[in-house]
Amino acid sequence: MSTRRKALTGNGRSDWYTRMNETSSVSDGALTLRFWGVRGSTPVSGPDFVEFGGNTPCLEIRCGNRLFVIDAGSGIGPFGRSNAETLPQEIDLLFSHLHLDHTAGLPFFKPAVFDANRTIHTYCGNLDGACASEALGRLFSPPLFPVELSVLPCCLEHHGFKAGEPLSFVDGVRVDTILLNHPQGSVGYRFEHGGKRLCVISDIEHSDPWPDAALLEFVRDADLVVYDGMFTEGEYCRCQGWGHSTWQKGVELAQAANAKALAIIHLHPAHTDAQLRQVEAEMQAVMPASFIARERQTVDVGAVMTSARPQLALALTA
Ligand SMILES: [Zn+2]
Ligand SMILES: [Zn+2]
């Protein structure tokens, strides 16, 4: 039986909000998410990418104080440095998949990788049960990379699973998974904590018909769905088969699933801050409780939601 609960205000009105860019003290019941990289395919930098950020995917998820990291894009470097004093000795790193934009930051996950007393557990679910060891070994070896991962002082333990299987951890925490439509596959994750539900669905290309029935069930009643909105609809017709989706498909999925809020990630490396603000305004006209994720933005999942309107987001990202 689900223990999920609704946040009701005093007058009984169901009212949800996303608290932006606050590093709240994480109570045991809190489910929080912080975006350390939201850019897809390749990192970008420059004056056009200041607001939304240029690092490739890395998400910090806290179920109470329990940490999960999704993906090791270039955002994992600043994540590690910002949490240097508080990283646990055992770190669970869940890969959506192993494409470069989700793995290339791994050796730069400092100080964790330089700590001989630390274990980083990686989880890979898109290779039919195989773990990430062999693929990462090919990526991080000469001449593509100067050293092999084995020279790092930390202990790396690679775990393989089949997307669709739940992940059960020694502390009793369970994370559900689903296989997503993407070249070589990708894994979506569902976290439930304190009566709140967070689904991270990237990288994915939507199917026809849409929403996919299994995915719809997977994200049903989520407090927040994080979704791959790399392309505009205008771009998508030229990029079919590349493995990514649009914010419109994210809204269709979220609304059909009765999700409370939607965040868009895997932003196109050519999309500037000005373009993304415009896209966000269009999306919020259709679904007010939606936003395009900004690097370093923190979301208190399932807390009271007013809206994620641009002026609010801008005020809080200053
Ligand atoms: Zn990607
Ligand atoms: Zn990919």
Total of domains in the chain: 1
Residue 44's contacts (CB-CB under 8 Å, 6 or more residues apart) are 54, 269
pLDDT at residue 21, rounded to an integer: 34
Q: Ligand 2 mean position to 136 CA, how many Å?
A: 15
Residue 54 pairs with which residues in a beta bridge?
Answer: none
Q: Ligand 1 mean position to 294 CA, how many Å?
A: 16
Whole-number Å distance between alpha carbons of 66 and 167: 15
Cβ atoms of residues 174 and 168 within 8 Å? yes
pLDDT at residue 2, rounded to an integer: 32
- Does the global pTM surpass 0.75? yes
Q: Ligand 2 mean position to 26 CA, how many Å?
A: 31
SS3 state of residue 153: coil
pLDDT at residue 15, rounded to an integer: 30
- Is position 58 within any domain? yes
Whole-number Å distance between alpha carbons of 250 and 14: 22
- Is position 36 within any domain? yes
> Which position has the token pair 């069930």?
217
Q: Is residue 137 scored above 80 in pLDDT?
A: yes
Q: Ligand 1 mean position to 268 CA, how many Å?
A: 10
Q: Ligand 1 mean position to 149 CA, how many Å?
A: 22
CATH of residue 210: 3.60.15.10
pLDDT at residue 305, rounded to an integer: 54
Please give the average per-residue pLDDT across 238-266, as a whole number: 97
- Candidate from 19-28, 59-68, 134-143, 284-293 with smallest mean pLDDT: 19-28
Residues 202-226: tens digit of each pLDDT: 999 999 999 999 999 999 999 999 9
- Arithmetic mean of pLDDT over the chain: 89
- Say which amino acid occupies 63: C
Question: Is residue 303 very low, low, confident or very high in pLDDT (cuts 50, 70, 90)?
Answer: confident
- Is position 221 within any domain? yes
pLDDT at residue 306, rounded to an integer: 44
- Is position 209 within any domain? yes
DSSP H or E stretch at residue 133: helix 133-139
What is the number of the ligand closest to the CA of 180? 2
Q: Is residue 164 scored above 60 in pLDDT?
A: yes
Residue 34 pairs with which residues in a beta bridge?
Answer: 60, 298
- Is position 16 within any domain? no
Q: Ligand 2 mean position to 100 CA, how many Å?
A: 8
Domain that holds residue 156: 31-317
pLDDT at residue 6, rounded to an integer: 28
What is the number of the ligand closest to the CA of 70? 1
What is the number of the ligand closest to the CA of 71? 1
- Is position 17 within any domain? no
- Is position 3 within any domain? no
pLDDT at residue 28, rounded to an integer: 86
Whole-number Å distance between alpha carbons of 278 and 55: 21
Q: What per-residue string of b and e applies to 82-101 under the rule 16 or more CB within 10 Å gives b? A: ebeeebeeebbbbbbbbbeb
SS3 state of residue 280: helix
Q: Ligand 1 mean position to 56 CA, how many Å?
A: 8
Q: Is residue 53 scored above 70 in pLDDT?
A: yes
Q: Ligand 2 mean position to 99 CA, how many Å?
A: 5
- Candidate from 27-36, 206-215, 307-316 with smallest mean pLDDT: 307-316
Q: Ligand 2 mean position to 61 CA, how many Å?
A: 20
- Is position 11 within any domain? no
Q: Provide the token pair at 184.
A: 């070589």
Q: Provide the token pair at 33.
A: 């998410």
What is the number of the ligand closest to the CA of 99? 2
Please give the average per-residue pLDDT across 236-257, as a whole number: 97
- Say which amino acid occupies 114: F
Instruction: Say if residue 143 is preceded by a cis peptide, omega within 30 of 0.
Output: yes
The values of phi and psi at residue 60, to 5°, are -100, 120
